[in-house]
Amino acid sequence: MRVALFFDGKNHMKDLRRTAEDTWLDHGALARWTVEHVGGTHLVAAYYYTGVPHPSDEGADRRALSDLLEELEKRPGFFVRRFNRRATTRSCPHCHQHISYTEEKMVDTSLVAEVIQLAVRDAFDVAVLFSGDLDLAPALTAVHALGKQAWIATFGDHGLSRSLVRTAWSRIDLLAHIDEFRHQGIGEITAPVGHADDDTVDREMLRELGRAESHFTAGGGFVGAHYFLHRWKGHGIPDSPDLRRQAVQRLMSTGMIETYTVDGKTALRVTPDEDTATVHLGADEETVEIRVTEAVRRLRTKLKE
């Protein structure tokens, strides 16, 4: 059976952050797993609908979303539908001050319209909508009326409309299967035995992490581990996230860099030039402080050259 995926981007990512915090998805793996889970034979296409930030929105959020959308568009069969967020104001009923903010417009209605159009054109046999928003119910009803299946996929029950569940052919709890399509954490893959070229890679990774720190801390931010491994556009470092992860693990094992937590997210930084370093041990956030030996200090100096 032919399967088409439809992502309500804002609700999809909001629910992920609410339920799985610092977990990052491999959307390619998610697409493959979903097709198999619903009994499909191949993916027709995956459509990702989202509002894009207004110039008045915070810069960090703009960059993060832009990088995500760029990553999705590079995947075969993925198509991003962008809708400009609109600036609006309202009056606070308590203080009577005007509050300015931005909001998404036309995202849900455009998603519903395209689902129905593709169903009428017989473009798929099964549609999976990644959202728990009741506004999408008309799409499910129309798909079923055309003799096709319409599933919904959400992270747990938070924000899930019970009426939508009753309308859907079936529902997938992504949270129960998240290990099938999440990116692995820094501590989950053991770096292989080093090769001759590893010193060069590690040296460049260390330099790029320092550059990333300067870039983000200047605005009061931090270097997210997932961002650095998957999205940071550096010079002379591997494109592969797995190769970057292995280099990070090697540098962590020698005390050159360390992880720490900011608002529940794992961040990376070059280890301060002190006599101790903090090493992150895993998902339980356990850390130990180790004394940096003279050998490690020499290695640090060598890699920074």
Q: Which residue has the higher pLDDT, 279 or 198?
A: 198
Strands 78-84 and 86-91: unpaired
The whole-number pLDDT of residue 141 equals: 97
Give the homologous superfamily in CATH for domain 2-180: 5'-nuclease (3.40.50.1010)
Residue recorded with tokens 């915090």: 21
The whole-number pLDDT of residue 265 equals: 77
Strands 98-103 and 287-291: unpaired
CATH number of this structure's domain 186-304? 1.10.10
> pLDDT per residue over 259-273, tens digit each?
888 877 788 999 886
The whole-number pLDDT of residue 139 equals: 97
> pLDDT per residue over 84-117, tens digit each?
866 566 777 777 676 655 566 689 999 999 999 9
Collapsing DSSP to helix, strand or coil, 262 comes out as strand
Q: What is the residue extent of each domain of the chain?
A: 2-180, 186-304
CA distance 219 to 151: 42
Cβ neighbours of residue 230 under 8 Å, at least 6 residues apart?
A: 24, 71, 183, 241
CA distance 185 to 24: 9
CA distance 134 to 120: 22
Candidate from 85-94, 221-230, 278-287 with smallest mean pLDDT: 278-287
Cβ neighbours of residue 244 under 8 Å, at least 6 residues apart?
A: 205, 228, 229, 237, 238
